[in-house]
Structure 1
């Protein structure tokens, strides 16, 4: 299985918008269509489709918060392609791509602390929890480079 991160353009945006998580995960993940709109109207947003061979199976979006910090705001794998190692390979590629920025010193991700899978998954990449966000809704975790 060949996993890659690809640009999203007029040829594949509809397929990316059609991707969906399982019903039990919907409260944890923003809509891909909304994320694409958000990225179009704001600067510093990078969106990528996660491809398995020639098929879009997921979505990632990260945001340049400052010259030193990038936050991964969106990360999802379609319900039909979960539990196959695709997310792990895609997140590894995203982190490697983010590390190419010479000024970035910190990668941040946030997740619902009630999400049973998130903490273990993200900590396996080296993310360390630093506390809840300003609204006390989401857990913040970082990798210091």
Structure 2
């Protein structure tokens, strides 16, 4: 299985918009269509389709918060493709791409603090929890470069 990150284009955006998480995950993941709209009208937003072989199976969006900080705002794998290590490989690829951006010294991600799977998953990449976000809803974790 070959996992890759690809630009979102007029050829694949509909397939990306049709990707969906499980019912239990819906409250924690923004709609891909909404994320694509956000990225179109806001500077510094980058989106990628996650492909497994030649099929779009997931979505990423990261945002340049400042000259030195990038935040991963969206990361999802379609419900039919979860539990196959695609997310792990895709996050590796995304981190490699983000680290190539000149001046980036910190990568941030947030997740539900009562989700031990998310905490363990992100910490395995080197993310370290730094506390709750400004709304006191999600845990912030960072990688310092």
Report the TM range for the smaller structure's normalisation: over 0.9
Q: Normalising to structure 1: TM-score of the pair?
A: 0.98
Aligned-pair distance for 1:89? 0.2
The alignment's TM-score, normalised by the length of structure 2, stands at 0.98
**Offset, 1:22:** 0.6
Which residue of 1 is the match for residue 119 of structure 2? 119
Corresponding residue SS for 1:117: helix
Question: Which consecutive aligned stretches of 4+ in structure 1 deviate over 4 angstroms post-superposition?
Answer: none
Give per-residue Cα distances to partners, 1:14-50, cap 9 Å, x unaligned: 0000000011111111100000001011000000000
Unaligned runs of 5+ in 1: none
Deviation larger for 95-104 or 110-119: 110-119
Would you say the 8 A contact 1:62–1:73 is kept in 2?
A: yes
Give the root-mean-square deviation of aligned CA atoms: 0.6
The residue that corresponds to 2:75 in the other structure is 75
Q: Partners of 1:94 and 1:68 in 2: how far apart?
A: 17
1:144 and 2:136 are equivalent in the alignment: no
> Residues 46-125 of structure 1 correspond to what in structure 2 (within 5 A)?
46-125=46-125
